[in-house]
């Protein structure tokens, strides 16, 4: 099983067509026989969970069986070319994780840990309880700053289905050890991990680690993995 995450940025003043694509793309994705799971996603402005959506940037996540080639309906690719979008695509192999997305084990049955220690991507996704929204968002800025300054951090994108309530952070790190150093050793993030469990901030959550297999196109003018793969 493989996963493909594509982040697309529309030219200035054309972000409305990105919003429209969230409805238009549903049918070709649903009809694609090799896609077992997909999500159409909005993006935050600052590379993580964010209260301010980026109306020019959108995402598509697909899960499929087969080779590491990109699986995407041709209609969607033609749409992006027509609007002269900047497109970054990364193909991923899920290796570790827990939790569900819409009550589905969309990446299959994964172990919580493996011996793999190399270049790694992480998807942290949650549905936030309405009663906990203020608590959650009050902690986001400090954690986001820590992540961007952390050793081994390469890049991140904030993605989500419903603004403020259902969101995720996709990040890439030089190694699992450096990612864990941020996750469990940096005080702000470590505190948030404890509070999410103790105070039950989430009604559903998922955490998955991936091996990045390939990366093409650009994100904000460059390919984040060009020198890594």
Q: Indicate the pTM of the whole model.
A: 0.92
Of 61, 72, 8, 6, which Cα lies nearest the Cα of 39?
A: 61
Burial of 181 (0-12, 13-18, 19+ CB in 10 A): middle
Q: Note the helical H segments in 61-121.
A: 74-82
Strands 120-128 and 2-9 come out as unpaired
**69-97 residue pLDDT tens:** 667 899 999 999 999 999 999 999 999 99
Contact status, residue 85 vs residue 15, Cβ threshold 8 Å? no
CA distance 101 to 41: 13
**All domains of the chain, ordered by start, with CATH?**
2-217 (3.30.70.100)
Q: Note the helical H segments in 150-221.
A: 176-185, 187-198
Helix or strand (DSSP H, E) at 135:
helix 133-149
**162-195 residue pLDDT tens:** 878 898 999 999 999 999 998 887 776 777 778 8
The percent of residues above 70 in pLDDT, for the chain, comes to 95
pLDDT value at residue 142? 78
Joined tokens for residue 169:
């952070």
Q: What CA–CA distances, in Å, run from 55 to 2, 10, 41, 43? A: 28, 9, 11, 8
Measured in whole angstroms, the distance separating CA 34 from the mean position of its chain's CA atoms is 21
**27-37 residue pLDDT tens:** 999 999 899 99
Integer Rg of the chain from CA? 17
CA distance 8 to 84: 10
pLDDT value at residue 26? 96
**8-32 residue pLDDT tens:** 999 999 999 999 999 999 999 999 9
CA distance 23 to 57: 15
Q: Predicted confidence band at 49 (pLDDT cuts at 50, 70, 90)?
A: low
pLDDT value at residue 58? 96
Helix or strand (DSSP H, E) at 215:
strand 202-217
């Amino acid at each position: 099983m493989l996963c493909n995450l594509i982040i697309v940025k529309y030219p200035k003043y054309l972000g409305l067509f990105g919003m429209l694509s969230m409805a238009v793309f549903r049918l070709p994705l649903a009809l694609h026989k090799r896609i077992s799971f997909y999500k159409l996603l909005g993006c935050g402005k600052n590379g993580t969970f964010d209260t301010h959506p980026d109306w020019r940037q959108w995402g598509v996540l697909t899960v499929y069986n087969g080779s590491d080639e990109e699986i995407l309906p041709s209609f969607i690719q033609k749409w992006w070319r027509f609007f002269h979008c900047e497109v970054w695509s990364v193909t991923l192999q899920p290796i570790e994780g827990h939790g569900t997305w819409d009550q589905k084990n969309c990446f299959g049955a994964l172990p919580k840990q493996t011996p793999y220690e190399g270049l790694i991507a992480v998807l942290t996704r949650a549905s936030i309880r309405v009663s906990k929204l203020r608590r959650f968002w009050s902690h986001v800025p400090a954690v986001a700053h820590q992540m961007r300054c952390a050793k081994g951090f390469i890049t991140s994108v904030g993605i989500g289905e419903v603004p403020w309530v259902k969101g995720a952070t996709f990040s890439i790190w030089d190694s699992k050890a450096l990612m864990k150093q941020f996750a469990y050793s940096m005080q702000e993030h470590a505190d948030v991990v404890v509070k999410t469990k103790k105070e039950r901030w989430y009604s559903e959550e998922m955490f998955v680690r991936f091996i990045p297999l390939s990366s093409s196109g650009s994100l904000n003018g460059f390919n984040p993995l060009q020198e890594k793969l």
